[in-house]
Structure 1
């Protein structure tokens, strides 16, 4: 995850400052509200991506078939549909939809993790999360003057939050292999509509359904490969990678491991003495 040295220092200062007493009381409700919002965003995107298929196929099918037919009957319209419209649709629905979904559910999960921690006395005297800002062009999100805010990162990581943070990173940072992997899923969307729309031959339904399923399977396989390649170093162990390539959770986990190893060496030395 993109994070400058200044960001790291600022985060360390914030983490060392204990939370105000009023925030300790209010943060369970606050984190729960944030979790509900991100869950709602995830559900809305799922409903838009999945629900739009039967809606366009059955509710707005006449206008859709007529519009596509008119464009295909015109050579320039057909070229524009195949060369311009379909690639943009694949990028928006496939890569765009995947990024929004993957950027939202980790935030929801982390929020609910902090709800549990905020009710745990062991975390009462410390902050639970912090925010950094991604540099322009490296993070997914609307352009802002100060970069995209990357919030809800765990102050105290765990194996579970580290796994969630990998998807957080994948959702909020741009990766070319993942974008390309999601393009077939974006192309599957119009074929899924064509597989359901009434008034066309059964052969068209069958071919469109097979193509849609094949494209979804292709995106799934390519997406898994892209994610595995992207986080292969983390799966093998982050200690061989430079700090700049680690997510905040992995950096904190490495620091904790180094400190634990140092204490273990000191204990063994004292026993030997």
Structure 2
């Protein structure tokens, strides 16, 4: 991978030689962290995809949905309350934020695991941790700054590209939130398109609508991503790295 121009502070931190024990153990450490984030990513995908299968295969749930849509009040409640909530949860959260908060960390962990067994990296630190201000990052509310780990000390075009998605997954962006709303609505239209007992034209119409909604989110999401990231510092989440390096 072609190396890019680097922050002198990162170069200085990288030159701090890790101890023999750290050099020996960090391949397993990074590999283990990568496996953990791989599991998190699989769970995130199951939340999005598996929830559709769950709704359609649970007989009690299917009957409950039929009952709610059998009355005007039930239809109004679904359209005005439940569907908007599902649109937000299944779009900005499940379709974008959860997977994008996990796969870059998985990729970086495995990248560091490979680097940690290469002699050319044996004399240097591989990653560092910075912090994001409370309230600006994705995840449970915190009263203090959030540690953002596994950022590369030696940058490359590959790690810079992954870091852009790292930033996107762990910091909040209104334009991306709006861009993912059609995908969130597509979760509901997919359920309707596969729901048992409906006519074939209804199935076809709602599944076609689902494709259109997903494509709309892809187009809007790409635009939001490209608008956002020219202003994001390349290779890091904060101006001043803090915390430990490995």
User: For the superposition of Structure 1 and Structure 2, which TM-score range results when normalised by the shorter chain?
Assistant: 0.7 to 0.9
- Does residue 129 of structure 2 align to residue 142 of structure 1? no
1:96 corresponds to 2:93: yes
* Residues 1:52 and 2:51 aligned together: yes
Aligned to 2:244: none
CA contact (8 A) 1:45 1:101 kept: yes
Partner of 2:161: 163
> Contact between 1:53 and 1:193, CA under 8 Å: does it hold in 2?
yes
Looking at both structures, which has the greater relative contact order when contacts are Cα pairs under 8 Å and sequence separation is at least 6?
Answer: 2
Match of 2:131 among 122, 128, 133: 133
Question: Which residue of structure 2 lines up, in the alignment, with residue 246 of structure 1?
Answer: 233
Quote how far apart the aligned CAs of 1:67 are.
Answer: 2.1
Distance 1:11 1:151 in 2: 14
Q: In structure 1, how many angstroms separate the alpha carbons of the residues matched to 2:196 and 2:75?
A: 22
Indicate the residue corresponding to 1:216 in structure 2.
214
How is 1:58-73 mapped onto 2 (pairs within 5 angstroms)?
Answer: 59-60=57-58, 62-73=59-70
**Does the 8 A contact of 1:196 with 1:205 survive in 2?**
yes
Q: Which residue of 2 aligns with 1:23?
A: 22
1:90-136 per-position Cα deviation (integer Å, ceiling 9, x unaligned):
11111111111011111011011101111112221221111112111
Question: Who is 1:79 aligned against?
Answer: 76
Q: Which runs of 5+ in 1 are unaligned?
A: 1-7, 234-240, 253-273
Q: After TM superposition, give the deviation of residue 74 of structure 1 in Å.
A: 4.1
Tell me the distance in 2 between the aligned counterparts of 1:12 and 1:120: 18
* Cα distance in 1 for residues equivalent to 2:235 and 2:164: 10
Whole-Å separation in 1 of the counterparts to 2:183 and 2:197: 25
* Match in the other structure for 1:105: 103
Shift of 1:209: 0.8
Structure whose residues are more often helix by fraction? 1
The residue that corresponds to 1:197 in the other structure is 195
Partner of 1:35: 34
Conserved 8 A contact 1:133-1:146: no
Which SS does the other structure have where 1:179 is aligned? helix
The 1-side partners of 2:120 and 2:237 are apart by: 22
SS in 2 for 1:150: strand
Name the count of aligned residue pairs: 232
Q: 1:178 aligns with which of 176, 180, 199?
A: 176
Q: Are the aligned partners of 2:10 and 2:154 in contact in 1 as well (CA < 8 Å)?
A: no
User: Are the aligned partners of 2:132 and 2:238 in contact in 1 as well (CA < 8 Å)?
Assistant: no
TM-score, length basis structure 2: 0.85
Tell whether the 8 Å contact from 1:162 to 1:250 is kept in structure 2 after alignment.
Answer: no
Q: Name the CA distance, whole Å, in 1 between partners of 2:82 and 2:55.
A: 17
| Aligned residue number for residue 151 of structure 1 | 149
1:221-232 → structure 2 map (5 Å cutoff): 221-231=219-229
Greater shift in the superposed pair: 189-198 or 110-119: 189-198
| Partner SS for 1:18 | coil
Classify 1:157/1:249 alpha carbon distance in 2 versus 1 (closer, same or farther; 3 Å). Answer: farther
Alpha-carbon distance, 1:12 to partner: 8.4
Task: List runs of 5+ in structure 2 lacking aligned partners.
Answer: 1-6, 240-246
Report SS of the residue matched to 1:133: strand
